[in-house]
Amino acid sequence: MHFSIDPFQHTVRKAVHCCGVGLHSGRTVNLSIKPAPANSGIQFCRTDLAEMNGTGSRGAIVKAHMDKVVDTRLATTIGEGVATISTTEHLLAAITTFGIDNAVIEVDSGEVPIMDGSAAPFMQLLKNSGKKRQNKFRKILKITKDIEYIDNDKKIKISPYDGFKVSGEIAFDDALIQSQKYCLDVDQERFIQEISRARTFGYVEEVEELWANGLALGGTLENVIAIHWNRSSVLNEDGLRYKDEFIRHKMLDIIGDISLLGCPIQGHIQAYKSGHTQHLGFMQAIANAPECWELIELHNNGSHSVIDKVFSNTKAAGELIMPFLKQSPVAAQHP
């Protein structure tokens, strides 16, 4: 597969809105996705927090970047000061796959609404908006050497590849899930058809335990696949959307979490039994291995210029890569 991507940055064409319930709080959440200037990236705005910001609206801003991750238990939560937003991964998977580089996401709560537990409602929202090309070129993180992250029996590896490919594998002891594998060359249409509708899942006794601890208060059979106590069926009356819906949802989570690097990736991700915690560790491993990637800027004629060499890789890239990706190359030379 030849790596083909629009060289220009994009934002949403018009503001779009939805309303749902927060998975853990059980509260109603209003969400809006609005256009944003080129080079501003994806930003969340907590409109319920009274604080002025540079967007012309009232609320606390949290940038969707890996250096803002504050919690990876149950979901990926990002934060800045007192402002946090959890369950970001499904929305971010839709946004990045739809090809949106810059947007302001307004929420009036500390959670992105869970909707039906998948990314499909968010993808439909984005399709209702459409996207608008901006007069700035995209930057791509091109993997040039293998990078591997290992956490006990969990492993994630990325290798050079002429495209963006994700391969996932999970292994459970129960009869329903067992071992499942999936591999996808990621583009918008394949994501919509094969991944976007896959829902989050959990064992019914785990959900009950979360309820007892004041969590997952918004979790119902409308937004979570509840695996039966017998481990061979689900409680959801309509059953599964895909026979292997579990690994497909894990793929969705990977795509959403990895978008927190801040730009598209050219490489092949291979994940084994990974979750949100491993996804963050994997991104940190990438950031700390600048000798294994190039940051390239696309041009209209399909060529690109390598701009990663403007900095010294003697610094830990955890301190460098994110500010670099958020700034212009000129500004990034003087961190």
Say if residues 227 and 201 touch (Cβ distance below 8 Å).
yes
Residue 243, classified by CB atoms within 10 Å of its CB into exposed (0-12), middle (13-18) or buried (19+), is exposed
Catalytic residue among 24, 249, 276, 279: 276
CA–CA separation, 40 and 63 (whole Å): 9
Compute the C-alpha angle 286/41/78, nearest 5°: 65
- Element containing residue 294 per DSSP (H, E): strand 293-298
Residue 124 token pair: 């439909």
Q: Which residue has the tokens 């083909």?
A: 4
Told to judge if 276 belongs to the known catalytic residues of this protein, a careful annotator would answer: yes
Closest CA to 257 of 138, 42, 88: 88
Query: Cβ–Cβ contacts within 10 Å for residue 18, how many?
Result: 17
> d(Cα 38, Cα 49) in Å, to the nearest integer?
25
Confirm if 101 and 12 have CB atoms less than 8 A apart: no
3-class SS of residue 42: strand
H/E stretch holding 158: strand 154-159
Give catalytic residues, as residue numbers.
276
